[in-house]
Structure 1
Amino acid sequence: MSDTTEFKATLTRYLKARIPFISIRSAERARVLDLMREVVATLNAPVYVHTLSQGTRELATGRSVNEDRSAAGAVDFASQQFAQRQNLSVVLTEISDIEDDTASARHLLDVVMLAAEHSGVVVVITTKPVWGQLQRAGMSLALSYPTEDEMHAIIRENLDAYRSHFPIEWDADDERRAAAILAGISRIEAENIIATLLANGRVSKADMVELMHAKDRIFADISGIERVAVRGTELNVGGLGGLKSWLDKERPLLTADLRERGIRPPRGVLLVGVPGCGKSLSAKAIAANWGLPLYRLDLSTIHGQYLGQSESRLKDALATADHVSPCVLWIDEIEKGLAGAQGGGDGGTSTRLVGQFLYWLQEARARVFVVATANDVSKLPPELLRRGRFDELFFVDLPTPQERREIIDIYIQRGLKQAMPEELMTELVELSDGFAGSDLESAVREVVKQAYLDGDAAVTPDLFRRSFINVVPLSKTAPEQIENIRAWGRERAVPASGQPIGAAPNQPRPRRQVLG
């Protein structure tokens, strides 16, 4: 049974039972009223609906019954009608100030009591909670956004109306994929997006990317997570062959319909390892390669000064991520945001945040692919590492000689637009033993800066050598720290490079006497 079918069945029972007060939590007023018309058609009882634009009308026929368009006037009119007739239902769509014990809430409660005496029903459509004493006078309902199946029906209905007028390239699989992308938004928002595509005079397979961007724009101003712009031309990641192979295998599953198999879409990866080796860049590269929007959740901004504020902010941020799915959610240095979970020095807030995050990670079914990164593995809560939380735990080590060659070539091609002589490349790979990816970028950047200032003629093998020799990597300044990180990774993680972690011990780098 779909959510909409269950909603209609429950609403029908409530109306037949003459529950005096029914609150419906939904942001889709028009959709709720459409469903109510279907329900009312099966019942032999009058139903009035009030809106600010049209006053009070009969729901079935649209005939006006009260010209007063104010919410207060609608409540007074309902009170008069309940005193005069039996089995009347009144739907209020614009009632306000009923979340707490206010004069409006007490007035409405009095009207509900009058309705109960005459088998009447007051229905309130709202997006906010209802004052407890008022809510206990009746029952509550919630109408969720359309499910994937319902969204598929909406898409097919809107496209079928134009198939004889416009070329529409989408097949059944494309419609299913579009439904997965648009899940989490309202019917009218989905119809607006489809109408925008139809305004081009055709619907092509390439429009699937525009579908993601259009949904993304709906949530562009929602707080909690930050939209990160990704430029694919700058996001080549050298090495990490094991991680890339795993991602290629998982990619089709993110938008596939897996319900018949009883499995959920991929939930994400936890990347741990040596600082500066491409963990954060990998999050951006995944979003760019998969053609998905990238959002960043900064846990340091989640923490608030009041009790429960941090948990509320995290809940809102994760709910926003669910709404903008399918997407990639990047959580950088996750251990810093959850640092108090083990020590308990923050009154238990971090522990509660960990529990809330893990519950969402395990139970949520939205197509949100999480890429969490961590440098200080000693601060990671143990429960975060349990199998089943993330789909995989990868260790990002110092790049191997072959990976260093790839990374150096990427930065040289990007900054100098030229090929590196093989002999010099081999020499630089040897000089960069123990370098992290950030160290390699820094060394090449110095050469690129010199080329910009003095011209490409200034780029010589000696300039490359000096630039690489002047970099002192973390593996030289803190080798014990690197070895401790590697020892942790060998026992708990899969190597992102596809090679054994720290298999080739670092050898002392040769120091060359460079003239000039």
Structure 2
Amino acid sequence: MTTQTIGNYINACYPAIWINTFEENRCINALHHIARESELEMKVWSCTEGYLDYTNSMDDSDSGMTTAQEALEHITDENQNHSNTIFVLKNFHHYMDNPYILQKIKDAILSCINPTNYIIFVSPKTVIPIEVEKDIAVTTFTPLDIEKMGEVLDRLTKPKDIVIDPEYRTLILKNSLGLTEQEAENVYSLAYTIHREYGADAVKTIQEEKANIIKKTGILEFIPPSNNISDIGGANEFKTWAKIRKESFSEEAKAFGVQSPKGVLLCGVSGGGKSASARALGNLWQLPILRFNIGKVFGSFVGESEANMQTALRTSESMSPCILWIDEIEKALAGLGSDSSGSGVTSRVFGELLTWMQEKEKDVFVLATGNNINALPPELMRKGRFDEIFWFDLPDNSERIEILSIHITKRGRDPEDFDLSLVSESTEGFVGAELEQVIIDGISLAFADRKELSTSHLITAADQTIPLSSQRKEEIDTMRTWANNNARSASTPIKKSVKRITKSTTTSNRRLS
């Protein structure tokens, strides 16, 4: 929410506003600016200092009022004698479970209406019980955009005449989105302290520090760029789709009329390359990835789960354009519709996620991965939530050869030294993760023999592996049936793939006979 919108609320005489923000000082400075422009007085309360009068150079004449009760009683008393004052209350979410305080809030809000005073709560957490939810308008304070981030960086670098290459400056600012002003200053200073310049290494340090900062939320995790799209074996349809939309978030694309993609759902057999594809997509599109652990959204206090969901979604929007990765989404939404608590918290949190996915205006690409598609609620699959639903099937012969080749190359060997066609025949029904494990186990066998890795080692490793497709055949067949009617194959059209497998099986039977 912009400062202008908050100003509009005040000009419209909203008596109480709750501003959700981690940037307390920046928000209060913005409110002070609004107060001056609107010719309003402003007092700011905290539990450590009581009231500070910002109108009179932060006079602390009311500094003895350090309890929540005294803070609210002061507003009620002042309303009898003065008008046109903004009362800012810091971190009042700590007191919202007290029935006496809640009634005091209602009394204070009512007393603000006639003399035209205002109560503004500034807190990093939105906690508004039902008793006062109709009395308080809720909004968020705008995080720093890339232009404001640039001002923070310039404030640190210009006095020292530090010159930054334009390319690295852009990368630094993009990787800073979502940080508070203080966090940005800290990571910029740290990067320069370590590297003595703002180059590629500084960008990496900023990414690492940002990952640590976001990890503190316990809900989101920043995933630095890792594997390339070429590291993914098979999945040619998905890779083509991704490459076509690589520039979709650019200003040039928007000017042309391209609509930014909303998201995709990657479903299929466990170990089939969905998570690797998610990581590779971030690298291909050069967008930060935020892994969203929905399970950690749920809290024990009333309203905590909904507030955590809002924080996660707001953080992702502050980093736009970015990728919000919801891994194993079916597990995250387990129990939907059978909320054992009877409170409906899971349904409300899920409903908020669905509404946001449908109506979001920021460029946050939602990438969900799931194994058990039968556990996914039908509301999630409706058109408009995702641009595409991709099915990652068991790799066919050519895809298995490609995957084996990639993992052999990664381990310093030349794929041309192996009969990968023979290995592929021994690994029919294996998923990508199992094929990688064949290479790992084969290397261990070769080391035990004190010989160089050979085709025979890989075949032996394959023979010792029981693939998931054998252990869960009925479940996979059921998912394949669903995918035929509801999803797009990540590699080749599913029906053609099934025909090819059938033909291959027939040929094998003829050879055996």
TM-score in terms of structure 1 length: 0.75
What residue is the counterpart of 1:286 in the other structure?
Answer: 281
Following superposition, the deviation at residue 62 of structure 1 comes to 0.9
The change in CA–CA distance for 1:321 and 1:398 in structure 2 (over 3 A counts) is same
Q: Could you tell me which of 126, 141, 146 is aligned with 1:144?
A: 141
1:8 aligns with 2:7: yes
Q: Could you tell me which of 389, 392, 398 is aligned with 1:393?
A: 389
- Counterpart-to-counterpart distance in 2, 1:496 and 1:442: 22
What residue is the counterpart of 1:62 in the other structure?
Answer: 57
Amino acid at match of 2:3: T
Amino acid at match of 1:465: I
The change in CA–CA distance for 1:212 and 1:446 in structure 2 (over 3 A counts) is closer
Gaps of 5+ in 1: 512-516
Following superposition, the deviation at residue 209 of structure 1 comes to 4.8
What residue is the counterpart of 1:493 in the other structure?
Answer: 487
Following superposition, the deviation at residue 303 of structure 1 comes to 7.2
What residue is the counterpart of 1:23 in the other structure?
Answer: 17
Following superposition, the deviation at residue 167 of structure 1 comes to 0.5
Following superposition, the deviation at residue 63 of structure 1 comes to 5.4
Q: Contact conserved, 2:192 with 2:198, CA < 8 A, in 1?
A: yes
Q: Could you tell me which of 400, 407, 420 is aligned with 1:404?
A: 400
Q: Contact conserved, 1:91 with 1:123, CA < 8 A, in 2?
A: yes
Q: Contact conserved, 1:273 with 1:374, CA < 8 A, in 2?
A: yes
Q: Contact conserved, 1:48 with 1:89, CA < 8 A, in 2?
A: yes
- Counterpart-to-counterpart distance in 1, 2:163 and 2:95: 50
Q: Contact conserved, 2:247 with 2:285, CA < 8 A, in 1?
A: no
What residue is the counterpart of 2:356 in the other structure?
Answer: 360
What residue is the counterpart of 2:413 in the other structure?
Answer: 418
Larger radius of gyration: 1
Q: Could you tell me which of 459, 465, 482 is aligned with 1:465?
A: 459
The change in CA–CA distance for 1:408 and 1:50 in structure 2 (over 3 A counts) is closer
- Counterpart-to-counterpart distance in 2, 1:456 and 1:233: 31
- Counterpart-to-counterpart distance in 2, 1:354 and 1:56: 40
The change in CA–CA distance for 1:362 and 1:449 in structure 2 (over 3 A counts) is same
Deviations 1:425-477 (A, max 9, x none): 232233334433233233323211112333234x4443333333444545567
Following superposition, the deviation at residue 9 of structure 1 comes to 3.4
Q: Contact conserved, 2:51 with 2:62, CA < 8 A, in 1?
A: yes
- Counterpart-to-counterpart distance in 1, 2:221 and 2:152: 34
Q: What is the alpha-carbon root mean square deviation over aligned residues?
A: 4.6
Q: Could you tell me which of 166, 170, 174 is aligned with 2:166?
A: 170
Amino acid at match of 2:4: T
Following superposition, the deviation at residue 372 of structure 1 comes to 2.3
| Comparing 344-353 and 441-450, the one that deviates more | 344-353
Q: Contact conserved, 1:408 with 1:440, CA < 8 A, in 2?
A: yes
Deviations 1:276-313 (A, max 9, x none): 32223322333455565555445566678999987776
Following superposition, the deviation at residue 269 of structure 1 comes to 1.9
The change in CA–CA distance for 1:99 and 1:304 in structure 2 (over 3 A counts) is closer
Following superposition, the deviation at residue 271 of structure 1 comes to 1.7
- Superposed, which structure 2 residues align to 1:179-190 within 5 Å? 182-190=176-184
What residue is the counterpart of 2:329 in the other structure?
Answer: 334
Q: Could you tell me which of 240, 259, 267 is aligned with 2:262?
A: 267
1:99 aligns with 2:93: no
TM-score in terms of structure 2 length: 0.76
Identity %, equivalent residues: 23
Following superposition, the deviation at residue 222 of structure 1 comes to 1.0
Deviations 1:212-243 (A, max 9, x none): 44433322211234566875499932222222
What is the total number of aligned residue pairs between the two structures?
A: 495
The change in CA–CA distance for 1:257 and 1:212 in structure 2 (over 3 A counts) is farther
Q: Could you tell me which of 195, 210, 213 is aligned with 1:218?
A: 213
- Counterpart-to-counterpart distance in 1, 2:364 and 2:310: 15
| Comparing 404-413 and 212-221, the one that deviates more | 212-221
- Counterpart-to-counterpart distance in 2, 1:337 and 1:350: 10
Following superposition, the deviation at residue 270 of structure 1 comes to 1.4
- Superposed, which structure 2 residues align to 1:495-514 within 5 Å? 495-498=489-492, 500-505=496-501, 507-508=504-505
The change in CA–CA distance for 1:113 and 1:266 in structure 2 (over 3 A counts) is closer
What residue is the counterpart of 2:430 in the other structure?
Answer: 435
